[in-house]
Structure 1
Amino acid sequence: MSPIHTLRERIPDRNLWVVYLTTWVLATAYGLALATTPLVLIERHFTDGEIGATASWFGAGIVSFAIPSGWIIRRFSARRTLVVCILGYASMIALFPFLPELWQIGINRFLDGAFSVGVWVSCETLLLLRAPKEHKAFATSLYAIATGLGYFVGGGICWALVHVMSLGTVFVIAAVVAALSSLIALFRLEPDPPALHTSDEHHGAANVRDWASLAWRIKTSSFATFCTGFFQASVVIFLPAYLHYVKHVPEEDTTLVTAVSAGGMLVISNVAGRLGDRVGHLFVLRALAIVGVLVLLSFVPLTSFPVMLVAVLIGGGSLASIPPLSLALQGAIASPSEYARSNSIFNVFFATGLLSGPYLTGRVSESLGREAILYLFASLWTALIVLSLIFRKDDPATRR
């Protein structure tokens, strides 16, 4: 049986492939913008605390819109929400490098976060609704691969472009790429499955107790995505500065970190997803976190940049493979009619990590030195490991 036939057998719904394609193109834009953002902030001589604040504003936008996005999706459809939010994101990154004041950048990042969470909740809701139950981690790993491939391509292109054109031009190119992904979603996605609206139509709006109960059931999945948000938002800003100022890596070469980390995720995530479907999502998630912690701690004594990139490939790839497993775990716990709400809660935790991570990391960096951020990150993932052991029965796989 050919690999293509196996893929089609496991993922028979063509709409999932449209989501993957849309995600890949959009993630290429994310990769371009994400790798260039620290360079813009460093170029303007912002302090670590100010840089952390810009990322916190991004997280605040996500927190503010995460819950409303679930209601908007149920009211207007995931497809429409996805298209509008992609276009909103494209407009924000087109403006970002041309805003002179910190407060203007803050507003831009807030709206960037609001539109971004609309994209994520829409994609994740469609993904969980349409993915076969027995292959959810496999389906979410393909989503992560599409994301990682986009970041890899975008980060690699960014590294080449920053040598030959202005940073503002790179952001405009990223905005055009993002707008292209919205056209794919607009013209190729079919209407949402009816299961998305079953809860609202037949049982009325969910009350506070329903939300609280759902939040408790998906707590391990949600804390994993909190760690992801905390780490991703912080590392993309502060690791380049750490490499540049402490390890004396040329500023332009730090853009390779995003691409290499995404490359590691491409190698690891699909294998981890298939293993998660067989032995349990939480078990594999915990193993990846352990690898990530060990690599983070080993990063401190390294002096060779190529060896650092190998560490990023392994550790970054392992930690970047956790999100699809936490998403699949959430999908295994919640029912289809709860997916819009569960994805909203899921992304609130992600946003809380985004919101708190850069601020706390900035304070740690300023108070204890840039090297201390590696110990902060290791402590964060260790907390997830401990929580996953305490609440290991949250994973339905333990009750098979």
Structure 2
Amino acid sequence: MATETTSASLTGVSDDQRRDAVYRAIKWRILPLLVVSYVVAFVDRSNIGFAKLEFAGQLGFSDAVFGLGASLFYLGYVLFEVPSNLMLHKVGARKTFLRIMLPWGLVSAAAAFMLAPSHFYVLRFLLGVFEAGFFPGVLLYLSYWIPSARRAGVMAIFLSAMAISGIVGGPLSGGIMHVSDGLWGLHGWQWLFLVEGLPACVLGVVVFCVLSDRPESARWLRPEDRRLVAGDLERDRPTGAKVPHSYGAALRSRRFWGLAALGFGIMTSTSGLFLWLPTILKGAGDLSVGQVGLVSAVPFVAAVIVQYLNARHSDRTQERRLHAGVFALAGAAGWLLLPLVAQHTWLALAVLTLIAVGTMGAMGPFWSMPAALLAGTAAAGGIATITAFAGIGNLITPAVTGWLSSTTGTQVYNQLLYGAVLGLGALLMFVLVRPARR
């Protein structure tokens, strides 16, 4: 195997070269599978934005119904994130990810057969219940393998799955709906849920078979490489009286709440971008569903490039706070500018690209911060609570924005709300999280 060859060829090289080779082997082993899995996860949770272009009219769903259903995903998500991450800390990632991915794939596919708002509400809630724990679980899992000095770049690679899902998800969703409409008596949006939902079941089995729970159980690493990683992670463990080691201590930390505020803003903005981007582009000009799918990839292509470059610079400088906060403020500015250009297709696309770049550019540095500021059970529960807190924003804002859109007949207030939430989250993080001293 390539990993074994890399590991076996380290004789006679410097410690730094050996260390780089070991972590390169680890990244090649675990990251591609995690990225693909999260691409599927994000496509499955956000493809309703495209499906809505057809099923809303066919099933008689208003924007308020759509917004409430989108919110209920996050109700299930919020309720089960923390228990799932605490369980992962005890039973391991392989069993946890298998338990998450099999039912989420089945529920996502089952949305093809909904007929009434009640079906939509139940299925979205269950999708949130079953998917809960995957994202915070991966963040915790990566902290078992990668020391904090190398983590922002790794986080950015994993989180690029969001942007990748936007790049491939839009054209894929638009293409499926266009090509399959009427096939075997099913609408295009029904095929969309079936084709994009079931791969998660297969991936769950692959993850269980391929991944190792921790470095010490990874037989594909040499014993001396496992010891190297264990030593690095032990030295990297947060220490000091101010570092929370228990879940209760984390909840009493101002740094924790500063991170929660920015997490709330980032994930709310991300949700808004995926949920409303197709509707915004469709309303900005005379584009077909297929054209909307293709054009919608543009903001995410830019985002995945900038996301990686910002995270690499954050790793080189070992600075996280500014790399996360400044990009989040740029995304907030994009949301606030969007109402001014929403009727012009290409200007709207440019501002949507700013939103995507700002929101996703902040993610790598941001999501490397919790594990560096928390330790032990505080890290497991704290990371999950930060993502759960972010989920509360996603629980509230889709329902609110759906109601606003239905009531006012305009998207303007939605966009201003997303900008305010993201901007306020960044400002609170700057106030509550002081610059790290290394």
Counterpart code for 1:346: I
Q: Aligned residue for 1:202?
A: none
Shift of 1:185: 1.1
For 1:276 and 1:45, the matched residues in 2 are separated by: 47
Q: What residue ranges of structure 1 are gaps of 5+ in the alignment? A: 200-205
Report the Cα offset of residue 221 of structure 1.
1.9
User: Partner residue of 1:177?
Assistant: 199
Normalising by structure 2, what TM-score? 0.79
Tell whether the 8 Å contact from 1:27 to 1:148 is kept in structure 2 after alignment: no
> More displaced, 348-357 or 259-268?
259-268
Tell me, in whole angstroms, the C-alpha distance in 1 between the residues paired with 2:162 and 2:333. Answer: 25
Picking from 219, 239, 244, the partner of 2:282 is 244
Q: Is the 8 A contact 1:15 1:190 kept in 2?
A: no
Distance in 1 between the 2:29 and 2:383 partners? 20
Larger-Rg structure: 2
Identify the residue that residue 421 of structure 2 maps to in structure 1.
380
The alpha-carbon deviation at position 75 of structure 1 amounts to 2.9
Q: Are 2:340 and 1:326 equivalent residues in the alignment?
A: no
Query: Match for 1:384: what amino acid?
Result: G
Could you state the TM-score of these two structures normalised by the residue count of structure 1? 0.86
Could you list the per-position Cα deviations for residues 49-74 of structure 1 after superposition, in whole angstroms to 9, with x for gaps in the alignment?
11111011101001110121122212
Q: Is the 8 A contact 2:268 2:397 kept in 1?
A: yes
Counting only pairs closer than 5 Å after superposition, residues 1-400 of structure 1 correspond to structure 2 as 9=20, 12=23, 14-30=25-41, 32-33=43-44, 34-35=46-47, 36-43=50-57, 44-165=59-180, 166-192=188-214, 209-213=248-252, 216-245=254-283, 247-256=285-294, 259-277=297-315, 278=317, 280-302=319-341, 303-368=343-408, 369-393=410-434, 395-396=435-436, 399-400=437-438
Alignment match, 2:226: none
1:203 — aligned with what?
A: none
How far residue 91 of structure 1 moved from its aligned partner, in angstroms, is: 0.6
**Helix, strand or coil at the partner of 1:130:** coil
1:266 Cα deviation from its structure 2 partner: 0.9
Q: What are structure 2's unaligned runs of at least 5 residues? A: 1-5, 7-15, 181-187, 217-229, 238-244
What displacement does 1:246 show?
Answer: 5.8
Amino acid paired to 1:371: V
Give, as a single letter, the amino acid of the residue that structure 1 aligns with 2:293: T
For residue 289 of structure 1, report the CA deviation from its aligned partner: 1.8
Tell me the amino acid that sits aligned with residue 174 of structure 1.
Answer: E
Partner of 2:299, secondary structure, is: helix
Q: Distance in 1 between matches of 2:152 and 2:396?
A: 28
Identity rate of aligned residues, in percent?
A: 18
The whole-number CA distance in structure 2 between the counterparts of 1:18 and 1:291 is 34
Sort the Cα spacing of 1:182 and 1:134 in 2 relative to 1 into closer, same or farther, 3 A: same
Equivalenced residue count is: 385
Distance in 2 between residues matched to 1:50 and 1:257, nearest whole Å: 26
The CA RMSD over aligned residues, in Å, is 3.0
Quick check: 300-309 or 115-124, which moved more?
Answer: 300-309
Task: Classify the secondary structure of the residue corresponding to 2:56.
Answer: helix
> How far did residue 355 of structure 1 move?
0.5
1:257 & 1:352 partners in 2: Cα distance? 30
Q: Deviations over 1:281-319 (max 9, x none)?
A: 121112112221332233333344233323322321221
